[in-house]
Structure 1
Amino acid sequence: MTGQTAAVFTGRVHGTVQLRHTETGTPVARFWLHHLPRVYDHRARQWTDGALVPVICTVHGAAARHAAETLTDDVHVMATGDLRITPSPHAPGQQQLYLDHARVGIDLTHHVAYIDATLPGVLAGQPPARAAA
């Protein structure tokens, strides 16, 4: 789309992922992502946490179902999508960030993730392999 600003955020999922469906049946997931930027303090010569940046992410289609099934509170993720900024309905004079049509992935710096093809048998509900005698 022309005029869209693509953005990438890393952070933690905050709260529960909400899954809804449009009138045409398309799944849409929505969740809060809390981005905490790291800032280098030249005087102290160390990295510190910057100000928390809350972002509302929306995911569409099959990815929305996957996000609702996979993401839980406090999971570290990376998300990319179309950035939109609007006046905050809750804080006059403030702005709210939205990441629309997001693509979301687990941040492997903080978590181990399995896909269907690599899921260990025990986790997939299969009995453990017997040891050879």
Structure 2
Amino acid sequence: MSNATPITVVGNITRDPEIRFTQTGVPVARLSIAATPRKFDKATNKWIDGETTFWACTAWRSLAEHAAESLRKGDRVIASGTVTTQRWTDKDTKEARERMVLDLDDVGPSLLWTDATVTRTGARRAAPANGDTWGDFDAAGATSPQTPTDDNPPF
């Protein structure tokens, strides 16, 4: 999408991510993020909360599975994605409805006030261009999850 609106949201998850599967078996997770801006009021010498914005978010495929397994209500997260508008007709009232949704490209815990442990899942990656060995490659070019043979990153 060349005219997509990419944004990054930092906030708290308002409910546990809910994962479902499409008819073809593709995982999709829904979650909601509340983002409340804060600013310092010099007159009162206190922090003041602004108006909270609630973001309905959708994650697909492996991101959906990882989000559902890793994130919980109350977790502070950093989420990035594109804003889209969902439109539908209400079944009961027959009224046209719409809402803005953040289609997630990535989401993870904020480390501002917490610790997190990263567990790699063995995601597939492309073969190194410079001929270095980064694990065994199958016929489709996907790597098996192995430790790199040297200290250089694959990019």
TM over 0.5: yes
Cα separation, 2, equivalents of 1:67 and 1:98: 17
Corresponding residue number in structure 2 for 1:73: 73
Report the AA paired with residue 52 of structure 1.
T
What is aligned with 2:57? 57
Q: Report the Cα distance in structure 2 between the residues aligned to 1:43 and 1:76, rounded to whole angstroms.
A: 29
2:141 is equivalent to residue 108 of structure 1 = no
Query: Which of the two has greater strand per residue?
Result: 1
CA shift, 1:16, in A, is: 1.8
Q: Distance in 2 between matches of 1:96 and 1:46?
A: 34
Deviation at 1:36, TM superposition (A): 0.7
Could you say which residue in structure 1 is the equivalent of 2:24?
Answer: 24
Asked if the contact 2:79/2:104 (under 8 Å) is kept, the reply is no
Mapped contact 1:54–1:97 kept (Cα < 8 A): no
2:56 partner letter: I
C-alpha separation in 1, matches of 2:15 and 2:81? 20
Distance 1:26 1:7, change over 3 A: same
Deviations 1:22-56 (A, max 9, x none): 12211111111010111343544543111111001
Q: TM-score, normalised by structure 1?
A: 0.73
Unaligned stretches of 5+ in structure 2? 91-97, 121-155
Pairs within 5 Å for 1:38-57: 38-41=38-41, 43-44=43-44, 46-57=46-57
| Structure 1 residue runs of 4 or more that deviate by more than 3 Å after TM superposition | 40-47
Q: What RMSD over aligned residues (CA atoms) do the two structures have, in Å?
A: 2.3
Q: Kindly indicate whether structure 1 or structure 2 has the higher relative contact order, using CA contacts under 8 Å at least 6 residues apart.
A: 1
Corresponding pairs, count: 111
| TM-score of the superposed pair, with normalisation by structure 2 | 0.63
Structure 1 residues 54-85: Cα deviation after superposition (integer angstroms, max 9, x where no partner):
00111111111010011111000000000135
Cross-structure match for 1:11: 11
Equivalent-residue separation in structure 2 for 1:34 and 1:96 (angstroms): 16
Identity across aligned pairs (percent)? 31
Q: 2: CA distance between counterparts of 1:65 and 1:52?
A: 27
> Is this contact kept in 2: 1:55–1:96, CA < 8 A?
no
